[in-house]
Amino acid sequence: MFKTVEYKNGKVILIDQTRLPLEEVYVECDNYQDVAKAIKIMQVRGAPAIGVAAAMGVAIGAKNINAKDYNKFYDEFLKICDHLASTRPTAVNLFWAIERMKSVADKNKNKPVEHIKNILEKEAIKIREEDITINRAMGMNGQELIEDGDTILTHCNAGALATAGEYGTALGVIKVAHEMGKKIKVYADETRPFLQGARLTAWELVKEGIPVRLITDNMAGYFMGKGEINKIIVGADRIAANGDTANKIGTYSLSILAKEHGIPFYVAAPLSTIDIKITDGSKIPIEERNSQEVTHLSNKRIAPEGVEVSNPAFDVTPHKNINAIITEKGIIKPPFIKNIRNCF
């Protein structure tokens, strides 16, 4: 089994997701700048995985600070946190993990700096372990929505690669169903422009022996119309307090297609993806990525020079299009405002 993100001997080790599925190689980061770069260029990606990697980046950065006095240490520490927080704007797990690391430093400020560094290292490792446990719980909780014989469509990659490892969020629900012997089939959207579905979801499911059919994004409506898809499960990068959900670009269109065809639309995400401070989806910052992701395929230009390009990496699915949010604490159903608040 591959490891998405690990902390070993003061290094963060990441499977390089930009090289999958053709090569299974690992990147080793022994300083926080390299971890930040890995997040930025998407060697590690997916909301929970970004959070875990960032926490480990904070721990490595703290280890390398050369200060005995807490105030001096904390000034440097905050710079490291800010640097890691500037890597990607949408997935709230990044900020959640960094805030958690900050509060651990804060709570222990009366201890010697060297001791604080060890506590931070342990916390980052704990965040990773917790994420794996949470994903498994989410996968189990999702089972009441999955029946034997279901054909489930998913978008982007919300598997082990998008989390600390093993299960994943949306794919976690699918993997547990498969483990329980439910005969399920998966349609995986290729997910233009970065192709997380073709490169990563298809790779994970083929590896697990779960029946998967890869389709281009614009085929989803065709297969829904033919009655071949009876459930949709996606992950999330940030969920507002009212249930509006930011996820990979194309998720919003899928939710409308699902409504039209009467197909239940589920989001699977840990509570750390819920940004309770944001009232609705309009407040979620949407990352605009490099136009080359659209104009090029495998570094080969496919669009004319000089063409104007838009490349928003995420869109927001309104809560009215979502039937349920699967979390580690259970399934949240509408009314989301009230039921999400009850989880915190």
* 164 secondary structure, DSSP code: S
Question: Which residue of this chain has its Cβ atom nearest to ligand MRU in the complex?
Answer: 235
**247 lies in the binding site for ligand MRU (CB under 6 A):** yes
**237 lies in the binding site for ligand MRU (CB under 6 A):** yes
- Per-residue binding letters, 263-302, with ligand MRU (x by CB under 6 A): ----------------------------------------
- Which residue stretch of 129-137, 234-242, 299-307, 329-337 sits at the interface with ligand MRU (rule: CB under 6 A)? 234-242
Is there a contact between 286 and 312 (Cβ–Cβ < 8 Å)?
yes
CB nearer to ligand MRU: give 178 or 248.
248
Binding residues among 110-169 for ligand MRU as defined by CB under 6 A: 156-158, 162, 169
* 161 secondary structure, DSSP code: G
Per DSSP (E only), the strands in the chain are 5-8, 11-15, 26-29, 151-154, 185-189, 212-215, 231-234, 238-240, 245-248, 265-268, 274-275, 296-297, 300-301, 314-317, 324-327, 330-332
3-state DSSP percent of the chain in helix, strand and coil, to 5: 45, 20, 35
Question: Phi/psi at 47 (nearest 5 deg)?
Answer: -50, -55
| Set 237, 244, 275, 315: catalytic member | 237
- Of the candidates 52, 184, 232, 313, which one interacts with ligand MRU according to CB under 6 A? 313
Any residues with CB less than 8 A from the CB of 126 and at least 6 apart, and which?
A: none
Task: Judge whether 244 counts as a catalytic residue.
Answer: no
- Per-residue binding letters, 158-177, with ligand MRU (x by CB under 6 A): x---x------x--------
**What are the Cα distances from residue 342, in Å, to 114, 184, 240, 335?**
39, 32, 14, 11
- Give min distance, CB of 184 to ligand MRU, in A: 18
- Per-residue binding letters, 194-233, with ligand MRU (x by CB under 6 A): --x-------------------------------------
Q: How many residues bind ligand MRU (CB under 6 A)?
A: 17
- Give min distance, CB of 35 to ligand MRU, in A: 15
Is there a contact between 189 and 258 (Cβ–Cβ < 8 Å)?
no
Helix (H/G/I), strand (E/B), else coil: 250: coil
**236 lies in the binding site for ligand MRU (CB under 6 A):** yes
Binding stretches for ligand MRU (CB under 6 A): 45-48, 156-158, 162, 169, 196, 234-237, 247-248, 313
